Structure 1
Amino acid sequence: MEKRNFTAALLMAFVVIAIILCLFAFPHAGLQAALRGVSIWWDVLFPALFPFFVISEIMLGFGIVHFFGTLLDPMMRPVFRIPGIGGFVVAMGFAAGYPVGAKLTGQLWTQKLVNREEGERLVAFTTSSDPIFLIGAVSIGFFHDASLAIILAVAHYGGSLMIGLMMRFHGKKSRPTEQKSASQGWIWKRAFESMHVARMSDGRSIGALLSQSVLQSVNLIFVVGGLVVFFSVALEVLTQARVMNAIYMLIDSLLRFTGLPLELSQAVMNGLFEVTIGAKAAGNAPAALALSSKVAIGAFILSWGGLSVHAQIVSLLSHTNLRYMPFLISRFIHALLSAAIVIIFWEPLQVFRDTKTVFMPQYDPTSPILSYLRLLLPMSGTVILAAFTVIAGLFAAYSLLRLVYEKVGGTR
């Protein structure tokens, strides 16, 4: 174990030294890459993620997470082998995007509401792009076609659900976490009492809760921004030094094997490091290339997340015992699944584009990405409301069927 840790530390030291030497050799390229990374963070990530960071902290303090945990436990355990409290993480993760799911999972682990295997399933399942980024930045900003958002959403979120079902077999021998309940009786009553107990246990005033939520969220968003800038600079200077040539050759071989255009290798390379830069490169690929190929690579990059997102996840989970390897494997499988869904279902999904039923506001392709985000930010609340509405509807149906079953069984 110590030998393995020493080897990893030695390899990391060589990589850092190589990046420093490349920065000395290509200072201008490094500066430009850093400025691009800061622009991405300020224009895209800060407005898209910061509100959700604050909201998630407040909802945890008020016990709303515990309310949904008690309510959803009968559904989440049989399907995904995750405690019901994970339903809240799923909704917030899909609505807010990476790395909110990992942040909430780390908090649940700290409160001993999930164990290691359940946390690993939850992080693998809920690490996804948010709808604002998928629609506003990728579909409109990079591909200049709002109708592509439907195809990307089907591939990306459909792949996430498939990963959730696959990950239920992860850690089959682990014992599930028991759902603590304040009392026995009707599940809605237990849910409200669980929320009340959690709120009383937290004990902070509304002012203290709000101020601490903002402070913690500011610290986290700066960590996210720093990682984006670092990986943007590392990719640029290593590319300038031709250190990445071997990886380019490997990517070219894989693209040739799958039948995808070799011109998309630059997008794949960028996407391996940073999702925003990679998705932009896919959207800006030569117009002569098949649109289905470019969208497939875009879906691959969105689902992989980039090493920048991976570093964010590792940073957020550093205080837990959750392992990185299950997350890494699930990201790679998710990326392959999303690209395959685009290629296989490209023709059937064209019906959503042919109808011209564009569900987004009118946009100007020459406008900066930030203008789209300003138009789309209200959609985040709609997505969260819709997610909770669907969950509540499913649970209402489940409760009704269970009530009917118990009454029928009682009359026999």
Structure 2
Amino acid sequence: MFRMPELGLLLLVCHILASITVGILFRFYGRINRESKVKEDKNLWSRFKKELVYNSRQKLNPGTMLGEAIRNSINVMLSIGGFITLFSVIINILIEIGFISYLSSFVLPILSPLGISREIVLAVLSGFFEMTTGTNMASKAASTTLQGQLAAVSLLLGWAGLSVHFQVYSIVSKTDISLKPYLFGKMLQGVFAAIYISIAMRLPFTAPLTAKSVLSVITPLSDFTWYNALIYSAQNVIISCVILLILTAISLVFYFTKRMCKAILVRSMR
């Protein structure tokens, strides 16, 4: 999109930090309801055994379960593809008939004093409905700096768009899961990701990125072989796995530290 592979890792780190921030803010959300549940339900192993016993009583053989799993997977993929196609068509129709431009006329007077261009406003409004269209428009906003483009893209990636939210709703609609905290969390993730990417672009180690021309990093098609693509993809996968392992290790340290402190506290009270 930006023809700058270096920005991919920067966006990844900023979104991980944004997700962690949202997780910290949501730490105490619904804590009273969670504590009111039966202690047995908190044990994942006991819940797994209950589900195993329930499935065994249904007399479902492995072939039936495998076939059902495959059918459900295909249905979900078709549903997701349908949502993407539907919202892509809808947002392009809204752009062509001038509805997005009409909305921008109300928002632009408020945001223009902040230095936000009309192209970014159009991209964000489009990305509110469909993320891919909005991020593509933001990356092509020629009148905006790279920092502004990245902030808009991060905001849209965090929000994900109504298309993704309807996909989620179609999956969880038959459960008792509330979408309100999910939508609020996605909004916060987009805001924090935009803030973090704006801060990161002002740091010294990102200065070469702002000075680098987009056209200067475009790899000629003749030089972009499958081997180079494979190596580059493998490097990104390894870096992502390392980051996830580090975050997992930190989470486990906090988890076991909390359990140890709780156990020590219980022993001291006896």
Same fold (TM over 0.5): yes
**8 Å contact kept, 1:264–1:285:** yes
Correspondent of 1:311 among 158, 161, 166: 166
Partner of 2:86: 230
**8 Å contact kept, 1:275–1:302:** yes
Cα distance, 1:338–1:205 mapped onto 2, change above 3 Å: same
**8 Å contact kept, 2:154–2:193:** yes
Which shows bigger deviation, 396-405 or 307-316?
Answer: 396-405
**8 Å contact kept, 1:150–1:352:** no
Structure 2 Cα separation of the partners of residues 297 and 335 of structure 1: 9
Partner of 1:351: 205
Partner of 2:193: 338
Partner of 1:153: 12
Corresponding position: 1:266 with 2:266 = no
Residue deviations 1:12-44, cap 9 Å, x none?
A: xxxxxxxxxxxxxxxxxxxxxxxxxxxxxxxxx
Corresponding position: 1:165 with 2:24 = yes
How far the C-alpha of 1:383 sits from its partner, in A, is 4.8
Report the identity percentage.
22
Note the 1:236-247 alignment, pairs <5 A.
Answer: 236-247=92-103
**8 Å contact kept, 1:267–1:281:** yes
Structure 2 Cα separation of the partners of residues 352 and 400 of structure 1: 36
Partner of 1:216: 72
Partner of 1:275: 131
How far the C-alpha of 1:395 sits from its partner, in A, is 2.8
How far the C-alpha of 1:191 sits from its partner, in A, is 6.9
**8 Å contact kept, 2:120–2:144:** no
Residue deviations 1:249-291, cap 9 Å, x none?
A: 23423431432233322321221111111112222221x5311
How far the C-alpha of 1:318 sits from its partner, in A, is 1.2
How far the C-alpha of 1:300 sits from its partner, in A, is 0.6
How far the C-alpha of 1:170 sits from its partner, in A, is 3.4
Correspondent of 2:150 among 271, 274, 295: 295
Structure 2 Cα separation of the partners of residues 207 and 374 of structure 1: 38
Structure 1 Cα separation of the partners of residues 162 and 95 of structure 2: 16
Note the 1:69-218 alignment, pairs <5 A.
Answer: 142-171=1-30, 173-176=32-35, 177-178=37-38, 180=40, 198-203=51-56, 205-218=61-74
Structure 1 Cα separation of the partners of residues 258 and 119 of structure 2: 54
Cα distance, 1:194–1:240 mapped onto 2, change above 3 Å: closer
How far the C-alpha of 1:388 sits from its partner, in A, is 5.9
Structure 2 Cα separation of the partners of residues 254 and 318 of structure 1: 37
**8 Å contact kept, 1:304–1:332:** yes
**8 Å contact kept, 1:272–1:304:** yes
Cα distance, 1:307–1:403 mapped onto 2, change above 3 Å: closer
Structure 1 Cα separation of the partners of residues 170 and 118 of structure 2: 34
Cα distance, 1:306–1:343 mapped onto 2, change above 3 Å: same
Partner of 1:50: none
The alignment of Structure 1 onto Structure 2 pairs a total of residues equal to 251
Give SS of 1:239's match.
Answer: helix
How far the C-alpha of 1:230 sits from its partner, in A, is 1.0
Structure 2 Cα separation of the partners of residues 374 and 307 of structure 1: 35
Correspondent of 2:175 among 320, 336, 350: 320
Structure 2 Cα separation of the partners of residues 381 and 210 of structure 1: 31
Note the 1:48-63 alignment, pairs <5 A.
Answer: none
Structure 1 Cα separation of the partners of residues 123 and 231 of structure 2: 27
**8 Å contact kept, 2:151–2:194:** yes
Structure 1 Cα separation of the partners of residues 14 and 69 of structure 2: 34
Give SS of 2:157's match.
Answer: helix
Structure 1 Cα separation of the partners of residues 53 and 249 of structure 2: 25
Equivalent position amino acid for 1:243 in 2: F
How far the C-alpha of 1:235 sits from its partner, in A, is 1.2
Q: Which sections of structure 1, spanning at least 5 residues, go unmatched?
A: 1-141, 183-189, 356-361
Decide which structure has the larger Cα Rg and report it. Answer: 2
**8 Å contact kept, 2:14–2:193:** yes
Partner of 1:124: none
TM-score (norm. length: structure 1): 0.50
Structure 1 Cα separation of the partners of residues 252 and 182 of structure 2: 29
How far the C-alpha of 1:178 sits from its partner, in A, is 4.0
**8 Å contact kept, 1:148–1:353:** no
How far the C-alpha of 1:171 sits from its partner, in A, is 3.7
Corresponding position: 1:252 with 2:108 = yes
Structure 2 Cα separation of the partners of residues 401 and 328 of structure 1: 29
Which shows bigger deviation, 264-273 or 163-172?
Answer: 163-172
**8 Å contact kept, 2:108–2:118:** yes
How far the C-alpha of 1:148 sits from its partner, in A, is 0.8
Question: What's the C-alpha RMSD, in Å, of the aligned pairs?
Answer: 4.0
